[in-house]
Structure 1
Amino acid sequence: MQRPVAIAAAGIVATLMGGALIATTILAPSDRLAACRTGNVAGGFNRLGGPFTLIDGAGREVTDADVITEPSLIYFGYTSCPDVCPIDNARNAAAVDILAEDHGIDAQPVFITVDPARDTPEVMGDYAANMHPEMVGLSGSEAQIAAAAKAYSTYYARADEDPDYYLMNHQTMTYLALPGRGTVEFFGRDDGPEEVAQRTACLVEAAD
């Protein structure tokens, strides 16, 4: 009495395996990317990211095309941040190391300040160099920072009026951008470095 059930179950497994094979071989690139994601963006991921012009740690004006030359984990924050920014930047730096060691993928963490009044290009350059040798630290004028944040639909605002010791409110998403493709995923604070690396590797391989 159990044999027909076993045969039916085997048929279901075979069907599922066949579907998996089709999914990995003939799906469109956009579908392959979607299979790697856990996040969704209303209107599509092309709504996140876009052209920007900022200043790097050496004082040079750079564009998004200059910066995103390899998979990039982009984070908006500020160097005086007392809690979340150091942890999130360290997580992104650790994910980059895992990508290199376990997946053979070169990637970079990118840190864009939302506090250009205190975070000069030199300050951002020093912070980035101390955090990770591959980290890119970017500053710019108020207008340049605002434009970059708007491109990534990220929020920030000064929290109080103290001229020297104020805090900044800001979102804490990390955006994964691929050269020639733009933003393909975002990561939250609960995603550990292994999770970030695994999903990034999946997306990089699916995009190739």
Structure 2
Amino acid sequence: MKQSHVGGIALLVCLIVVVAIALGSGAQDGTGSPGADDNTPPLVIGDTMTVLVTGAASLSDLAAAGIPAPEELQIPKGIKRYDVVTFDHAALSREIRDGLPLSIHGTAYRTEQHGMNFEQIDDGINTYEGTIVGVDESDILLTTGNNALVGSIVFGNETFWIIPVEPRARAEQSASPLHVIYSSKDVPAGPLVPID
């Protein structure tokens, strides 16, 4: 075989390897970990969270998933992607006190938090602040009630928000009202406004 053919084959093999590496890195997110599948929630809170809809982008996604009367939900307008979830609130409150397990982009973490004492009465509403164990740039602020969870989880340069989205009358009729979880990466610039 001529030397020019060997050189051409070697160049072709190198080009194939470079393209394969580039395509492989394209399947990763900015953290170097595999990219999140649209069917995998970027944040899972505790062991008793139930995911009803992953990667929703519109009310029609919720209707297609069987969520009744999605137009009644108070989802901030303009969020590009969100997950609809429910919680076992009694079990979640125990997990928060004992060190809440989290899964962020498929990696398991544990939190350390403490209760914040705002008042001297026990009204069933508790607020906790803390951090994710082993993650320097992390912060957790969660407020729990009988059937609601509101809060934020900061993980490096990403913030996740957890909010209840059912109107009060509808939520009071449900043992496990709907919540949405969304990331700062899925929020447009400017203030968010609830859908009318």
Q: Which has the higher helix share?
A: 1
Q: Which has the higher contact order (CA 8 A, sep 6+)?
A: 1
Q: Which has the higher strand share?
A: 2
State the TM-score, normalized to the length of structure 1.
0.30
State the TM-score, normalized to the length of structure 2.
0.31
Larger Cα Rg: Structure 1 or Structure 2? 2
